[in-house]
């Protein structure tokens, strides 16, 4: 692994892949650089798709900027179909082979399709992951459906619900759990977002699932819930999570499954036997890596910030030569969501928290910063319209400060440690 | 041009709204929305926004016209 | 001065022209305790962190009730406490914390819209052209008195809605009240007494002006604030107006003067700006790093704060030495070089966190119009003295005069 690479292939032409390409060049890599993408588009940004793009604000072209002299050969509209580790080559859908001496796997995820294929194929049933999805759904929303049914209690579901309300389209949001967003934010903040959604006119139905869809001439006309309720709608968006794009790695010898492509702290992909796959790295949503902020528990983080950070770390390590010169991926997970005029930001991972405290502001004002703890340590912090305090809490999380982390502070209520 | 904002880093200082008001807007207190693909004619304003951002969260480059969509 | 602390040396006017070597010495200890118990933060990492730390308060004005007793019961028990209370209620939002700070600042920001601020560009250009026009036929000017001072003052008065004929009286008031930012001045009794007299005068004046704005609202910020239905009370209204006026008088003047001084010290950048006015935004950000108009701000620790291997104790005064962090070599390679092409220039020239300068967008417009116009129109311009004489303030640091020789004024 001490020879400098001359041919680098990046599979996955999205945020992680493009970021890696930029950092490879910024670090002086001058060899061949190929970016493979299964979509026909240049790398584009996804967060605006569920918000301003659907709403029709500004341009729908969210192509990511990059320096004009990036020197990348794009192989777009071509999925990678096979990885041959022994020959050090990637096979594409058109049968061509791309030899590499460093490979970055950044194939990300796709929307989990609606489980019933016949229902999934109905006109009026949508998923939302890529640019083309957003264009189709956006066009449908511009035509003003009578009611949109959203399935899924995650951030995408809430963001699309918010967009529908901005467009004054009636919307029903079906959430399987008793509290929305509880996995990411805990029940208290999840419940708060649910309240806000209701106030903004969202027909939010908790513990609700679809029993079946009704169609006429191949078009969705109504859904029936498991409790028997029938809702007429000709537009349904299934925002029920994602699947990792690892199928093409089957038989390669890499350890990859529904949980992601296993890699080590330096973003190096691992064999099924646990050994390092020489020259093969992973970044972004598809990578499953040991999180140093959580005692090296394996995690795949499907967030924008991680894609950028891991793309950068992987690029540095691809050029590092040997492990002694590599740096570990120690990104502290972070993300944001914009909905109903609020900005929600999270730093760290709140899942598994056993305690919660409002550190600034209040739930009532819907302007607050809350911290999450586990076993007496601070593990996450969430802000609603209070992002400027977050950096201080980010530092506390990195340092695993005792929980609650910051006392005697400005605009701080009497601290009450509660269940999350 | 193509523009992307790191909204993890953005803290709604709103300096970009003053620099390029047609291309950046706040919806609510902190929710920044922006034009990801402004016209080349807006270059001056977009560059002002890039430089005025106190946390340097904005990245902008001119469109790459050297490569096609699909290989 | 050998026995004095490093920060006292920084306050010493003898070091005003070039405090940067002292700042470099200061940075050796990122958070340095001074003999009087003040903690000075001078490195970029630590400053950027603490400026957004919720355990740091901006509510650090000395309590006027700590005056020594006069022995007159009426004065000590009635007049002074009442006056002190009135002064306290007039605390501007730069000396307040959330939630009050956020509410007051939010009300100002609602008036300080992008349309309104951008609308000042044309007016700024006109004032600039007029001021440069008056330099015709002169071979010597004082940039401060002839240009850098009158420009922002005229702009802020217009924005706020202060009649131009009343502007002259603000000159002295603003200079006096700006001492609130200087910890070595604001604590002493004489300065406090002067400030009180001065504040009462300015408050009386503004009270009258606000009455007019309520009777006959105009298209200006004071009218908007005074007629905002769920707006601020009159104490806050006056305090806010004073703040905006003082800031408009005492800060941008430094940015423009420092800018011209820097461009004359490094003429290649002046020439480049003349040929390439699109450089202005980058050049001004670099100027804000290199020679910021405000060198430090004061804060108060509300709790023990562990940072950089030490603990700032609860109730300790804290100095954010912004201008030192702006020259931190671990954040800005070759920091003493003026380089408008510097990438990722995350300077602290406008502060940061909740108290980031409200007037930043206006200051950028003023500096851009001013500097581009000056380099284009002043012909054969050179510094008569370098360094120039400085104003006394160590925080609001800038030349008192910038005497220039010139050969002519282009159209």
Contact A408 C56 (CB under 8 A): no
Check pLDDT > 90 for residue A77.
yes
What's the gap in Å between the CA of B28 and the closest CA on chain A?
5
pLDDT of A287: 98
Distance CA A369, CA A379 (A): 14
Q: Is there a contact between C345 and B51 if contact means CB atoms under 8 Å apart? A: yes
Residue A130 has pLDDT above 70, yes or no: yes
Query: What does pLDDT average to over chain C?
Result: 92
Domains identified in chain A, total number: 3
Query: Which of chain C's residues have a Cβ under 8 Å away from the Cβ of A359?
Result: 54
Chain A residues within 8 A of C354 when measuring between CB atoms: 388
Within a domain: A168: yes
> How does pLDDT run across A368-420, given as a tens digit for each residue?
999 999 999 999 999 999 999 999 999 999 999 999 999 999 999 999 999 99
Chain B residues bordering chain C (beta-carbon distance below 8 Å): 13-15, 17-19, 21, 44, 47-48, 51-52, 54-56
Specify burial of residue C73 (Cβ count, 10 A radius: 0-12, 13-18, 19+): exposed
Q: What is the pLDDT of residue A322?
A: 87
Task: Please say if the pLDDT value at position B67 is more than 80.
Answer: no
CB of A362 less than 8 A from some CB of B: no
Which of A391, A402, A410 to probe the C interface (max C CBs under 10 A)? A410
Asked whether the beta carbons of residue A391 and residue C49 sit closer than 8 angstroms, the reply is yes
Domain boundary among A210, A240, A270: A240
Q: Looking at residue C76, what is its pLDDT?
A: 77
Q: Which residues, numbered 192 to 231 in chain C, qualify as contacts with chain B under a Cβ-Cβ cut-off of 8 Å?
A: none
Structural domain for C13, as ranges:
6-409
Q: CATH number for the domain including A85?
A: 3.50.50.60
Chain B residue with Cα closest to A63? B2
- Flag if B52 and C345 touch (Cβ within 8 Å): no
Does C146 score more than 70 pLDDT? yes
Lowest mean pLDDT among C52-66, C211-225, C332-346: C52-66
CA angle A273, A277, A280 (to 5 degrees): 145
Mean pLDDT of A108-114: 97
Picking from B24, B54, B58 by the largest number of C CB atoms within 10 A of its own CB, the best residue to mutate is: B54
Cβ within 8 Å, pair C49-A392: yes
Position C342 in a domain: yes
pLDDT band for position B68 (cuts 50, 70, 90)? very low
- Look up the pTM and report it: 0.94
Residue C362 in any domain: the answer is yes
Name the neighbours of B, counting chains with at least 3 Cβ pairs within 8 A.
A, C
Contacts of A64 in chain B (CB under 8 A): 2, 4
Report whether pLDDT(B64) > 90: no
Same domain for A137 and A103? no
Asked whether residue C89 carries a pLDDT value surpassing 90, the answer given is no
Residues 304-363 of A with CB under 8 A from C: 359-361
Instruction: Please tell me whether residues A105 and A252 are part of one structural domain.
Output: yes
Residue C356 and residue B44: Cβ atoms within 8 Å?
no
The answer to whether the CB atoms of B35 and A59 lie below 8 A apart is yes
Domain harbouring C358, CATH code: 1.10.630.10
Residues of chain B in contact with residue C360, where contact means CB-CB under 8 angstroms, are 15, 52
* CA–CA distance, C384 with C402 (Å, rounded to integer): 8
pLDDT band at A120 (very low <50, low <70, confident <90, very high): very high
Q: Which of A22, A347, A359, A392 has the highest number of chain C CBs within 10 A, making it the mutation to test binding with C? A: A392
Chain C residues whose CB is inside 8 A of the B21 CB are 114-115, 118
Structural domain contains residue A31: yes
Name the residue facing C281 among B17, B21, B52 (closest C-beta). Answer: B52
Domain annotation covers residue A409: no
Evaluate if residue C87 carries a pLDDT over 80. Answer: no
- Final residue in a domain of this structure, among A176, A211, A240: A240
Q: Does some domain include residue A303?
A: yes
| Contact call for B28 and A75, based on CB within 8 A | no
Optimal mutation site among A368, A388, A390, interface C, most CBs of chain C within 10 A: A388
| Inter-chain CB proximity B15 and C285 less than 8 Å | no
Which chains have 3+ CB pairs within 8 A of C?
A, B
Q: Give the total number of structural domains in chain C.
A: 1
Nearest CB to C53; choose among A392, A411, A412:
A392
Domains recognised in chain B with CATH numbers: 2-61 (3.30.70.20)
Distance CA B18, CA C357 (A): 14
Q: Percent of chain B scored above 70 by pLDDT?
A: 89
Residue of chain B with shortest Cα separation from A37:
B70
Q: How far is CA C8 from CA C40, C184, C246, C290, in A?
A: 11, 9, 25, 22
A62 at interface of B, judged by CB pairs closer than 8 A: yes
Specify whether A304 is located in the same domain as A185. Answer: no
**Least confident residue range of C60-69, C306-315, C338-347:** C60-69
Looking at the structure, tell me whether residues A18 and A73 fall in a common domain: yes
Residue C78 Cα distances to C65, C72, C74, C81, angstroms: 11, 10, 5, 6
Which of A361, A388, A408 shows the shortest C-beta gap to C302?
Answer: A408
Q: Please check whether residue C1 lies inside any domain of the structure.
A: no
Size of interface A-B (CB pairs under 8 A): 102
Do residues A37 and A182 both lie within one domain?
no
Residue C278 with chain B: CB contacts under 8 Å: 44, 47
What are the pLDDT digits (tens) for A324-342?
A: 999 999 999 999 999 999 9
Interface contact B37-A74, CB threshold 8 A? no
Residue A118 and residue A219 share a domain = yes
Of B17, B21, B56, the CB nearest to C344: B56
User: Domain for residue C370, yes or no?
Assistant: yes
The whole-number pLDDT of residue C65 equals: 52
Domain shared by A122 and A182, yes or no: yes
Helix (H) or strand (E) holding A84: strand A80-84
Are the C-beta atoms of A311 and A271 separated by less than 8 Å? no
**What is the pLDDT averaged over residues B43-48?**
96
CA C235 vs. chain centroid, Å, equals 22
Q: Is residue A235 part of a domain?
A: yes
Same domain, A205 and A103: no
Q: Which residue has the higher pLDDT, C69 or A302?
A: A302
ipTM of the complex: 0.94
Alpha carbon separation from C246 to A161, C180, C298 (Å, rounded): 47, 11, 17
Q: Which of C281, C285, C346 sits opposite B55 (nearest CB)?
A: C346
Q: Could B33 and A335 be called an inter-chain contact, meaning their C-beta atoms sit closer than 8 Å?
A: no
Q: Which domain holds residue A172?
A: 113-240
In angstroms, the CA A140 to CA A134 distance is 10
How far apart are alpha carbons C69 and C76 in whole angstroms? 6
Which strands form A268-270's sheet, in the order they lie side by side? Answer: A73-76, A32-37, A7-11, A102-105, A276-282, A268-270
Does an H or E element contain A195, and which? helix A182-199
Nearest to A190 by CA among A173, A178, A207: A178
> Can you tell me the distance from the alpha carbon of C280 to that of C256, in angstroms, rounded to the nearest whole number?
12
Asked if residue A59 and residue A173 are part of one domain, the reply reads no
With CB atoms and an 8 Å threshold, state whether C303 touches A391.
no
- Domain boundary pick from A265, A295, A325: A325
Distances (CA, A) of C115 to A155, C143, C267, C285: 34, 30, 35, 22
Q: Which residues contact A7 (CB under 8 A, 6 or more apart)?
A: A31, A32, A34, A99, A100, A101, A102
Same domain, A215 and A305: no
Return the pLDDT at B69.
38
pLDDT value at residue C1 = 45
| More confident position, C383 or B69 | C383
Cβ–Cβ gap C55/A391 under 8 Å: no
Rounded to a whole number, what is the distance in Å from the CA of C137 to chain B's nearest CA? Answer: 35
The reply to whether residue C53 touches residue A359, judged by beta carbons under 8 angstroms, is no
pLDDT tier at A38, thresholds 50, 70, 90: very high
pLDDT of the residue at C164: 87
B59 touches chain A (CB under 8 A): yes
As a whole number of angstroms, the distance between CA C360 and CA C225 comes to 20
CA of B3 to nearest chain C CA: how many angstroms apart? 16
Which of A118, A111, A171, A137 has its CA nearest to residue A49?
A137
Check whether residue A119 and residue A234 sit in a common domain.
yes
Separation CA A103–CA A263 (nearest Å): 13
Interval A174-222: pLDDT, tens: 999 999 999 899 999 999 999 999 999 999 999 999 999 999 999 999 9
What Cα–Cα distance (Å) separates residue A210 from each residue in A124, A171, A218, A242, C211? 15, 15, 18, 19, 64
Predicted pLDDT of residue C229: 77
Nearest chain C Cα distance for residue B62, angstroms: 16
Contact A247, A271 (CB under 8 A): no
Out of C48, C49, C57, name the one closest to residue A410 (CB): C57
pLDDT in tens, C307-341: 999 999 999 999 999 999 999 999 999 999 999 99
What is the distance between the alpha carbons of residues C194 and A78, in angstroms, rounded to a whole number? Answer: 76
Q: How far apart are the first and last CA of chain C?
A: 50
CB within 8 Å: A387 and B12: yes
Same-domain pairing of A252 and A235: no
């Amino acid at each position: 692994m001490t020879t400098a690479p001359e041919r680098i292939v990046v599979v996955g032409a999205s945020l992680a892949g493009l970021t890696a390409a930029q950092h490879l060049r910024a670090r002086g890599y001058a060899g061949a650089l190929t970016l493979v993408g299964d979509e026909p588009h240049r790398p584009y940004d996804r967060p605006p798709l569920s918000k301003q793009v659907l709403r029709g604000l500004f341009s729908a072209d969210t192509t990511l900027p990059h320096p004009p002299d990036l020197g990348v050969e794009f192989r777009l509209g071509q999925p990678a179909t096979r990885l041959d580790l022994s020959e050090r080559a990637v096979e594409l859908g058109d049968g061509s082979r791309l030899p590499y001496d460093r490979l970055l796997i950044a194939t990300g995820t796709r929307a989990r399709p609606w489980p019933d294929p016949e229902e999934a194929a109905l006109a009026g049933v949508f998923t939302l992951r890529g640019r083309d999805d957003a264009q189709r759904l956006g066009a449908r929303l511009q035509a003003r459906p009578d009611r949109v049914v959203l399935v899924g209690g995650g951030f995408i579901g809430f963001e699309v619900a918010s967009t529908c309300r901005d467009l004054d389209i009636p919307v029903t949001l079906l959430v399987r759990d008793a509290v929305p967003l509880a996995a990411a934010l805990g029940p208290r903040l999840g419940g708060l977002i649910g309240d806000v959604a209701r106030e903004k006119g969202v027909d939010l139905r908790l513990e609700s699932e679809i029993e079946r869809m009704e169609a006429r001439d191949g078009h969705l006309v109504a859904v029936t819930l498991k409790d028997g309720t029938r809702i007429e709608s000709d537009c349904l968006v299934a925002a029920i999570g994602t699947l990792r794009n690892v199928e093409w790695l089957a038989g390669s010898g890499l350890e990859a499954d529904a949980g992601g492509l296993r890699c080590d702290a330096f973003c190096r992909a691992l064999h099924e036997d646990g050994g390092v796959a020489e020259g093969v790295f992973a970044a972004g949503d598809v990578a499953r890596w040991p999180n140093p902020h959580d005692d090296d528990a394996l995690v795949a983080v499907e967030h924008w910030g991680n894609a950028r950070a891991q793309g950068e770390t992987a690029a540095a390590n691809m050029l590092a030569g040997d492990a002694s010169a590599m740096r570990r991926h120690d990104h502290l997970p972070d993300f944001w969501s914009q909905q109903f005029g609020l900005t929600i930001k999270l730093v760290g991972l709140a899942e598994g928290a056993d305690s919660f405290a409002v550190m600034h502001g209040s739930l009532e004002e819907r302007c607050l910063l809350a911290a999450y703890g586990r076993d007496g340590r601070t593990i996450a912090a969430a802000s609603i319209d209070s992002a400027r305090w977050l950096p201080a809490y980010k530092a506390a999380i990195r340092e695993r400060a005792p929980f609650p982390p910051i006392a005697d502070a400005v605009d701080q209520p009497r601290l009450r440690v509660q269940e999350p | 041009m193509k523009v992307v904002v790191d909204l993890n880093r953005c803290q709604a200082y709103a300096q970009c709204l003053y620099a390029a008001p047609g291309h950046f807007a706040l919806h609510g207190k902190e929710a920044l929305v922006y034009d990801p693909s402004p016209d080349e004619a807006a270059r001056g304003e977009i560059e002002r926004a890039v430089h005025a951002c106190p946390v340097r969260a904005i990245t902008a480059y001119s469109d790459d016209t050297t490569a096609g969509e699909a290989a | 001065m050998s026995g004095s602390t490093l920060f006292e040396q920084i306050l010493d006017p003898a070091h005003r022209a070039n405090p940067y070597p002292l700042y470099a010495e200061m940075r050796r200890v990122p958070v340095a305790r001074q003999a009087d118990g003040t903690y000075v933060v001078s490195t970029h990492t630590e400053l950027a962190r603490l400026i957004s730390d919720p355990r740091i308060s901006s509510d650090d004005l000395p309590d006027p009730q700590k005056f020594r007793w006069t022995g007159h019961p009426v004065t000590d028990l009635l007049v002074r406490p009442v006056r002190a209370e009135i002064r306290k209620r007039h605390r501007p939002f730069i000396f307040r914390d959330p939630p009050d700070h956020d509410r007051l600042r939010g009300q100002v920001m609602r008036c300080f819209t992008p349309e309104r601020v951008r609308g000042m560009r044309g007016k700024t250009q006109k004032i600039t052209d007029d001021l440069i026009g008056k330099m015709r036929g002169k071979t010597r000017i004082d940039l401060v008195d002839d240009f850098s001072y009158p420009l922002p003052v005229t702009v802020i008065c217009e924005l706020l809605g202060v009649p131009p004929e009343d502007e002259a009286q603000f000159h002295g008031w603003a200079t006096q009240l700006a001492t609130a930012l200087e910890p070595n001045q604001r604590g002493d009794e004489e300065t406090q007494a002067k400030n009180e007299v001065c504040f009462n005068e300015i408050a009386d004046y503004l009270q009258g002006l606000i009455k007019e704005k309520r009777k006959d609202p105009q298209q200006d910020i004071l009218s908007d604030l005074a007629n905002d239905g769920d707006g601020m009370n009159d104490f806050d209204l006056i305090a806010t107006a004073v703040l905006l006026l003082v800031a408009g008088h005492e800060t941008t003047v430094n940015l423009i003067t420092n800018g011209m001084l820097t461009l004359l010290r490094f003429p290649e950048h002046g020439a480049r700006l003349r040929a390439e006015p699109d450089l202005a935004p980058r050049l001004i950000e670099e100027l804000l790093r290199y020679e910021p108009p405000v060198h430090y701000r004061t804060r108060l620790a509300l709790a023990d704060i562990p940072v950089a291997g030490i603990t700032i104790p609860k109730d300790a005064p804290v100095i954010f030495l912004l201008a030192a962090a702006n020259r931190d070599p671990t954040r800005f390679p070759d920091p003493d070089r003026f380089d408008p092409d510097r990438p990722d220039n995350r300077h602290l020239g406008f502060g940061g966190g909740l108290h980031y300068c409200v007037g930043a967008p206006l200051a950028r417009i003023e500096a851009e119009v001013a500097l581009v116009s000056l380099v284009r129109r002043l012909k054969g311009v050179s510094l008569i003295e370098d360094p120039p004489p400085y104003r006394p303030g160590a925080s609001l640091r800038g030349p008192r005069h910038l005497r220039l020789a010139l050969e002519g004024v282009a159209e």
